[in-house]
Copies of this chain bind each other. A is one copy, B any other.
Amino acid sequence: MQRHIDVELAGLTDELVQMATLAETAIGLSIKALVSRDAELARQVIASDAQINTLEIEIDERCLRTMALYQPEARDLRFLAMALKINNDLERMGDQAVNIAERTLDLLKEPLLKPLIDIPRMAALAQRMVKDSLDSFIRQDVELARSVCRRDDEVDRYDDQLFRELLTYMMQDSKAITRAVNLILVSRHLERIADHATNIAEDVVYLVQGRTIKHHAAGE
């Protein structure tokens, strides 16, 4: 027999999927705007953040309402508490996409510094981590969640490598400085997105296994 609370939890899951899709789309479009040098698209990403912010508030309210109405027991409560956290991580990913779009608008003031190869790769990795972290939540798939945690190291390596490469560009040509700094910041924003996906994945392992892998995820 289906319980009333299950209907609420299913609705909440749908909203989180919608939130993740919005965040993933914003990340993808912010990088597309960067690569195709499309200021209009960058502005769209910035404008569309309002939708993510509105949905975040709705999801928070729904979590609290469900907690208050149904007085859920341990497992459902844990699910609701994790939904609150995941919601927060998704909203911050949206913020990072806005930051990338803002850096893009600044980068468009000058010609392309160098062909962008690593940044789109890094973005593809980060986007996949966002998708997989939420899929792992929906399917309660611990293995998938663990694989998201492991991929975080790969994104960090890209970030380090780009940082060093862009420093070299700046040293060689002072006219490259503003653009290189902006690209370093884009890389940092992608690294933060991957961190948020990793937080979600850690929460999934916690939710399913009832214990935390936080702060030593990759070590296991």
Contacts and interface: CB of A to CB of B under 8 A. Distances in A.
Interface of A: 50, 53, 56-57, 60, 63-64, 67-68, 71, 73-74, 77-78, 81, 84-85, 88, 163, 167, 170-171, 174, 177-178, 181, 184-185, 188, 212, 214-215
Contacts of A188: 185, 188
A88 to B, nearest CB: 6
A76 B88 CA distance: 20
| Stoichiometry, copies per complex | 2
A53 B181 CA distance: 31
A77 B67 contact: yes
Interface of A is mostly: helix
Contacts of A88: 85, 88
A163 to B, nearest CB: 8
A33 B155 CA distance: 28
A167 B181 CA distance: 8
A73 B84 contact: no
B174 A212 contact: no
Contact of A170 (B53, B73, B78, B177): B177
